[in-house]
Amino acid sequence: MSYEEALDFVSRDDKFKGTVYAMNTLLIHKGIYTRDEFEKLFVEWVTKEVRKSASGSKKTAPVSVRSA
């Protein structure tokens, strides 16, 4: 499957997810950052988002954030 065929095959949301996956995989494989560094920053971002939504609206589902 070519890149163009892959783009035609998936939704806009999946194109974004695929882009994030490809970019992060490439950066990890090239040694720009480690998986542990990525996971730490991801948890940091989710924690901030949970705090923002908790202070703004109670309509969001609870999210469990565990530390490594």
Task: Specify the pLDDT at position 30.
Answer: 97
| pLDDT, average across residues 44-59 | 86
Residue 18: band (very low, low, confident or very high) from pLDDT cuts 50, 70, 90: very high
Chain centre distance of CA 59: 22
Residue 63: band (very low, low, confident or very high) from pLDDT cuts 50, 70, 90: low
**Domain range list for the chain:** 1-32, 35-68
The reported pTM is 0.64
Task: Specify the pLDDT at position 62.
Answer: 56
Half-sphere exposure of 50 (CA within 13 A, CB side): 12
Cα–Cα distance, 12 to 68 (Å, whole number): 32
Cα–Cα distance, 25 to 35 (Å, whole number): 9
Task: Specify the pLDDT at position 13.
Answer: 97
